[in-house]
Chain A
Amino acid sequence: MEEYDVIVIGAGHNGLTVAGYLAKAGLNVCVLERAGFIGGEAITRELTVPGFKHDRSSSIHGLIHANPLLLNDELGLLSKHGLKYIFPDSNMSYIFPDETSMVSYPDLDKTCQQIAQFSEKDADTYRSFCEESKPMLDMLVAGMFNPPPPLGEFYAQLDRSPEGQQILRHLFMSGYDIVNKLFEHEKTKIAMLKFMSEPMVAPEDKGTAFYLYAAIPLSHYFPHGIPIGGSGMLSEALGSAIKTYGGVIKVASEVKKITVKGGRAASVILASGEEISARRAIVANLDPRLVFPHMISETDKGFAARIAEIQDPGFSAILQHMALNEAPKWKAGEHIGKSISIEPLCWLENLRRLFDDLRYGLIPSPENLAPCIFCTTVLDPTRAPAGKHTLYLWHYMPYFLKDGGPRKWDEIKTQVADMVLDKMRLHTTNMGPENIIARTTYSPIDYERMNPNVVNGSILGPGSYLHQFFSHRPIPELGQYRTPVEGLYMSGQSFHPGGSITGGGRATVQVIMADLKIDFSNVIKQ
């Protein structure tokens, strides 16, 4: 039987990050991946016609730029393994139904000027909001790539000062409550609410104001970037680092079972029947609902019940990939096309109704649509044949449809995709059939089919709710990556710091190394 020090199940970017640090520490590591390629939701592939490379899932990398993995290049991804980022001048362009627009730049002053087109007061409020959230943001960022602080301690820390208490009060409110309190102009409100919903949260749910405080100021301190060549280049760089440190990656190797011997996680059994054993640890980079009880049954009933309580986000999304002859031409102006994300919005009441539609399992009405559009080839032409472009057209959608459940998606996917494309057509002049060479659409259920880790179409893993936060993500018992089975650890988007491209495996690996008596600070110094 093959044997390694550590087995990592699932070559998503978080699993690869865990494996990278462990291999750097000198452990004999093996990563097992179900698909025929590595990267999970950080992959770039030809999905429409040959020559056009699309980010099948994640595209924009934000949080990971605050991670010492890249900040200090701890695994040499930037200096030795070919990972290079483009940081565009503008993050987001919001287009309103009347073709006016608001651009969000990493530069705070420029963003405030954009807001001031509509309201000087909102521009001033935005500036002070970003500046005042800085101390909390620093606290958050400091804790993000390390094992999570106990949830209660985070609250307690805020509770110690009047400013902190004010933030704490706000955190439990909804994003909508706060946006209404702070801003006066409808356009500012719409843009802020759309932005803060990106962690797949409905802005009127209580406890979502957190994302206003975190995501919006963060975009000014750590600008969004895209890897040259696509999101998958991060995974490729991680794969290359693992191999350089002596690790092994096996694709087309689906894990079916984890065996326990003498109370310890001992080996894994693949779909092929092959058994591979682990001397020191097994790390499952998966949603715990895929592991307990499917891969491992040695846990008590209470634990199983708590796993079953994990809450999904309120909605999923539909994503269309297109191969284009030319980049979209925006009616709101040429400058719009230079942003990473272009977002034609609806009016405030419609935006509120959009989230109601999602809540009730309905396909949103055309007047409530607010898509997200990336044409990354404008910024990175290496992803398409010369002069041609790729398009990523994204829209929130329910996973469970009121009429017909998730399977109903197979019948209506193209029709819904057309409706979203029509919304884009309202704001562009060249998105007719002559510009579209080919299109591939993925519905919420397709994401789960392609990667079982997208449980119930949950794009970022278990819902980003305050009760599934920090050391409580996704349940308190698993919040420090340890499990009831000795030697078995969990990692990935289902755990702190949560969904998105974060390189959050850096936090997980510190707990594993502490148990294995390896000094993490020494490993990162090398």
Chain B
Amino acid sequence: MTAIDMKICIKCTGCIDICPESALFLGEDAAIKCDYEKCISCGDCVDYCPVNAISIND
């Protein structure tokens, strides 16, 4: 499961476009969200995030 720590995230929004499955999006609550139905845990967003705000846990 992809977890985004919004206390660390700077909201560059870069991960949204990096995700090959379009699983990440900007939520109405102003946070970066992950649609777990779409996420394949590839880790591309983790590699991209410039502040290490994203982690993948089982």
Please determine whether A37 and B17 come into contact, CB atoms closer than 8 angstroms: yes
Q: For the A-B complex with A37-B17, A45-B13 known, give 9 more contacts whose Cβ atoms are closer than 8 Å.
A: A35-B18, A36-B17, A47-B11, A50-B26, A56-B13, A438-B30, A440-B30, A442-B10, A446-B12
Q: Which residues of B contact A (CB under 8 A)?
A: 10-14, 16-19, 26-30, 44, 48, 50-51
Please determine whether A450 and B18 come into contact, CB atoms closer than 8 angstroms: no
Residues of chain A from 424 to 452 with CB closer than 8 A to chain B in the complex: 438, 440, 442, 446, 449-450
Contacts of A36 in B (CB 8 A): 14, 16-19, 48
- Is A156's beta carbon under 8 Å from chain B? no
Interface of B is mostly: loop
- Is A139's beta carbon under 8 Å from chain B? no
Q: Complex formed: what's the CA distance from A66 to B56 in Å? A: 49
- Which residue on A lies nearest to B29, using beta carbons? A49
The 5 A-B residue pairs with the shortest CB-CB distance in the complex, in nearest-first order = A36-B17, A449-B50, A36-B18, A438-B30, A450-B12
- Is A46's beta carbon under 8 Å from chain B? yes
Interface of A is mostly: loop
Q: Return the CB mask of A334-363 against B: 1 if under 8 Å, else 0.
A: 000000000000000000000000000000
Q: Complex formed: what's the CA distance from A35 to B47 in Å? A: 12
Identify 18 residue pairs between A and B in the complex whose beta-carbon atoms are under 8 Å apart, listed by A's number: A35-B18, A36-B14, A36-B17, A36-B18, A36-B19, A45-B13, A46-B13, A46-B26, A47-B11, A47-B13, A49-B29, A49-B30, A252-B18, A252-B44, A440-B11, A446-B12, A449-B12, A450-B10
Q: Complex formed: what's the CA distance from A195 to B27 in Å? A: 38
What is the distance, in angstroms, from B45's C-beta to the closest C-beta of chain A? 10
Q: Indicate whether A449 sits within 8 Å of B26 (C-beta atoms), given known contacts A35-B17, A37-B17, A251-B17.
A: no
Please determine whether A49 and B14 come into contact, CB atoms closer than 8 angstroms: no
Q: Complex formed: what's the CA distance from A449 to B14 in Å? A: 11
Q: Which residues of A contact B (CB under 8 A)?
A: 35-37, 45-50, 56, 251-252, 438, 440, 442, 446, 449-450
Contacts of A35 in B (CB 8 A): 14, 17-18
Contact of A48 among B19, B30, B51 (CB under 8 A): B30
Q: Complex formed: what's the CA distance from A440 to B6 in Å? A: 12
- Which residue on B lies nearest to A448, using beta carbons? B50
Contacts of B28 in A (CB 8 A): 49-50
Q: Complex formed: what's the CA distance from A442 to B50 in Å? A: 13
What is the distance, in angstroms, from B57's C-beta to the closest C-beta of chain A? 23
Contacts of A251 in B (CB 8 A): 17
Which residue, of A36, A37, A449, has the highest number of chain B Cβ atoms within 10 A?
A36
- Which residue on B lies nearest to A440, using beta carbons? B11
Contacts of B16 in A (CB 8 A): 36
Q: Complex formed: what's the CA distance from A438 to B18 in Å? A: 24
- Which residue on B lies nearest to A449, using beta carbons? B50
Contacts of A47 in B (CB 8 A): 11, 13, 26
What is the distance, in angstroms, from A249's C-beta to the closest C-beta of chain B? 13
What is the distance, in angstroms, from A166's C-beta to the closest C-beta of chain B? 47
Which residue, of B13, B27, B28, has the highest number of chain A Cβ atoms within 10 A?
B13
Q: Complex formed: what's the CA distance from A50 to B30 in Å? A: 8
- Which residue on A lies nearest to B25, using beta carbons? A50
- Which residue on B lies nearest to A445, using beta carbons? B10
- Which residue on B lies nearest to A36, using beta carbons? B17
Q: Complex formed: what's the CA distance from A37 to B47 in Å? A: 16
- Which residue on A lies nearest to B44, using beta carbons? A252
Q: Complex formed: what's the CA distance from A46 to B48 in Å? A: 19
Contacts of B30 in A (CB 8 A): 48-49, 438, 440
Please determine whether A450 and B17 come into contact, CB atoms closer than 8 angstroms: no
What is the distance, in angstroms, from B54's C-beta to the closest C-beta of chain A? 14
Contact of A450 among B19, B26, B50 (CB under 8 A): B50
Contacts of A56 in B (CB 8 A): 13
Contacts of A440 in B (CB 8 A): 11, 30
Q: Complex formed: what's the CA distance from A45 to B13 in Å? A: 8
Q: Complex formed: what's the CA distance from A37 to B12 in Å? A: 12
Q: Complex formed: what's the CA distance from A271 to B5 in Å? A: 25
- Which residue on B lies nearest to A45, using beta carbons? B13
What is the distance, in angstroms, from B33's C-beta to the closest C-beta of chain A? 11
Q: Complex formed: what's the CA distance from A33 to B50 in Å? A: 16
Contacts of A45 in B (CB 8 A): 13
Q: Complex formed: what's the CA distance from A46 to B28 in Å? A: 11
Contacts of B19 in A (CB 8 A): 36
- Which residue on B lies nearest to A323, using beta carbons? B30
What is the distance, in angstroms, from B34's C-beta to the closest C-beta of chain A? 15
What is the distance, in angstroms, from B37's C-beta to the closest C-beta of chain A? 19
Q: Complex formed: what's the CA distance from A251 to B48 in Å? A: 13
- Which residue on B lies nearest to A443, using beta carbons? B10
What is the distance, in angstroms, from B44's C-beta to the closest C-beta of chain A? 7
Q: Complex formed: what's the CA distance from A50 to B44 in Å? A: 23
- Which residue on A lies nearest to B51, using beta carbons? A449
- Which residue on A lies nearest to B15, using beta carbons? A36
Contacts of A46 in B (CB 8 A): 13, 26
Which residue, of B10, B17, B18, B28, has the highest number of chain A Cβ atoms within 10 A?
B10
What is the distance, in angstroms, from B51's C-beta to the closest C-beta of chain A? 6
Contacts of B48 in A (CB 8 A): 36
Q: Complex formed: what's the CA distance from A252 to B18 in Å? A: 6
- Which residue on B lies nearest to A413, using beta carbons? B10
